[in-house]
Structure 1
């Protein structure tokens, strides 16, 4: 479901009459005055008054204000005129011109008295408007940067109305990248102010907050905020917001197993979404209705609604909605006994899921980058405060000041180096996750499972689907941890190799040994060994004519965990001479990333790590396989 931005400048959702009472009154005043300063102010106010009805008129009067302000050298009004021009171009969807005028306004304001409250207000409005513009372009990093600048200025001027809007918009950005904790924090800040000042936007904030609590399965708090949102919408009607709220409330009743009430709310939502032409909301409504009818075993009704949702989702290009629709259509076809149609929808579901996975990975990368930048700025801010304090206290002692400066210099350099290494390690870990399950492997596994379903071999289908699900769950769990226990690693490798055996028709056997002296809480870096094991499968045993064997062993010395991966395949040197294909390119990238992770981990932890890959040969010098040997410093999972 979508969240609602509360704009720094109010935009009407529908065309309104060209007649603008506020602008007309200002125009009459303008025609009666001869004072150039007052005329310039009035022209900017007239421009601002047209923002909800006529962006062309807004540009016209902003242009006149700009000319007038330059004639009388009034930089504050000149900055206002640029700000109004930027706003008009956002409304018209011309972001290039909008940012040009906002930057001109910001440049002028930065050279004026920063203690002047009016200057702070105009500058905050510029930053807030830029935040909206970047949010519309999905450039969340720049949107947050500008929103935080606006937030600090509005906090300084104690402008509660605009501050509540900025808090909401920051919450929407964090919500868009699935950072629910930060999103909820800013929504609640906006809610607190809106409740205090009786802001009509309170209904929207309550709806957004309730939806996050519903996502977290906190039904009591979700119901509390949904009820409050309903009351506020009755005071300040907003048809689109009401439609989204009805959709959200329906899912509350679904969670409470009250499908009849859920259906009633969805029918209300459908009526509103149709009247407001809210296609996004209507897509959700139809999908929710389809699920309810499916649960009630009314497959025809379910199929009708899910197809409506799918059509809208395709028109709006909504990958998550398309994925959910195809999944439900596959389940409906399966229940009707149409296995062939179920398989077709399952393939479409897998394609949509893969596309959504790429989008989710992009969100995770963005979230990590935003967190890294935020933490870095917090560190820099703290250090700057510490430095200022030290300068005031010890400024008169030159020698002490120099020593403190040297101390901070070296400490900062080490800290920045550590932060850089941690960022690199996180990036390599993310890339390792992205490459962990290559698309050919995932597709073939799903195709094999689907084949079992079509052939009505439910026992094997369930068995291999369970293995595949378990492997994917472990892989995702690993992505959250820098270290995993050895038993979890062995479990993941076992699941992976069993699936590869299915994929290649039992082309190879495998054995995994663990030294009984190794403690259960012994750990190793997550997502590290799988690329080498996959390499043994793809480039080692699979090309052999005879049945292959892969042996994985874990041993321990006083200081090291020794991981050995050995296969009786074609050998690394022979494999290099074979023609590279897309799968080998994938794996070479994964192995290179694993190598860089080891190097970065070694430098960060100040512990020795070694990795060797050798080709095994018989007494005649012929290749008989490859051995990968990893020596990792002993690590343990801390409680």
Structure 2
């Protein structure tokens, strides 16, 4: 029996640790931060500045430069605008913030000088090569653009080169550099195509106000039908990102009308899907489901890849609405289509169209239905696929889920093995992430260096320009170096934060281990005392009493074992356990005491939780060490009363011989056992209060001033 309890305790500790790792530790209250953004030299306010908190809140400054935004202590405030460098600020309190910014150096006005070319087709050939390598090798693509700029002899060609350079940075998620090069392209030749790209780059770089400004500045009459749909779709995306759901739906519908009118089928499908996502974000699931059904039907008439992409989106929606049966059916259909598509295409691990991700999500859906028999094979298959594709993230998540499923299915040995594999995968993933961060830093450094070379090339072509323009170019190069240095500092700060978080989580894990250990020590002690009572009935040849006692004892044991895995259980369950336990003790010592359990009828016991087996040892002490030695019949009273809406008091009082007399009657061995038992209770309360912010208080005192002083234990319990 001790081995089983210990095993359960270890598993609970491991899973609680996993849960704590998955959850955030930021439970601090939100407050409103006020601030304003002004120019450092003139103190003029700056309007439409993007203000964002890493917790998700977003706003902009008004015409007076002021803003208000909800945040927590420790959140990072990001202040972005096209006319100055991004400012980051760590929030410490609901202070008033004044941000003074230096205007950024204006974009260099690029020379319109013409350069001769020996080969008129050279520029076009170099641009074609850059576009060919755009998605394969960023460095090589930028090298071709650099050569193309050297071969350019017109503003139109300069504009095209910088447009392609912006496309390169956009694909490789260097959105700030993409914005810069699209703006340079527009300075040479202004086209609606590049304006749409610049607006999209601003959106991806979270410069939402700038994105809206560009979209709204485009003359819609000059756009083709496809471009007009793209414009409305982009506007809808920005409104959705800034939580303006109704505005997002309105512009998506405008785009949908044009797409339907001109039979632009891909966009009809995309916009139906996006409208469904916005309705889902608004909580209007019925409307969302209607649009998703339409997008799914339309996608099935397009190519296989688009059809399966939409099927997966709808499956994700079904998961959010807990419609697991529909989700499983859609994902199984998607699996077959993905296998067919993969014969001609290869998807990277970031894509949703991977077998390992869909197998994992099917297993997860089955697990949500508590259908563990079907969940386990899909999770295993996901792990195998992820291992083959070296997808550590999915492999880690699927292994963790498999461990949880085994635990829920009662296969604790397999659950422990799976959890150990999960821990190993976390270590591998951490190592891989470190390498990726290092690679990303090197990639960013190379990209900045190549961008600087391109800027230097442009400077060489403008030697006839004024000294002022040359100084501006040098200042821009220095700005990129500063960005690189800031990036390095940010990486160091992130590493320090992760280390701090890891240490804090380790402390929590140690507390959980200690808590499980103490609880596992208390259960055998309780079982031993109860079995002694059964033995005494058998010894006195009272078989009927022994059988009745044993029946009630088995019910009590079941309740104890069911609750042994939990840190807290509903108060209602603990009361049931106490009533059963007190009944058993009274059955044993009928001639020694009577008892009464009183619960304030105003208490909603479903609102409170309590550590399991917290009260039983105090009742046991009252009976065995107080009332049992009393010369006349005593009385045990348990009263549960309400102090305030968030706090209740549980009083356990007896008129027994009291703590001093009881201590005098004990043997040396009994003193050690009692001391250890009460010490365990105190340790449990201390650890739980450390983990859950002073949830439980225990006070012990004499009950009365008479000869039999008795004992009174008062337990105060607070809500979460």
TM-score interval w.r.t. the shorter chain? 0.3 to 0.5
Greater relative contact order, per chain length (Cα 8 Å cut-off, separation 6+): 2
Q: What TM-score does the superposition give when structure 2 sets the normalisation length?
A: 0.37
Structure ID, larger Rg: 2
Q: What TM-score does the superposition give when structure 1 sets the normalisation length?
A: 0.41
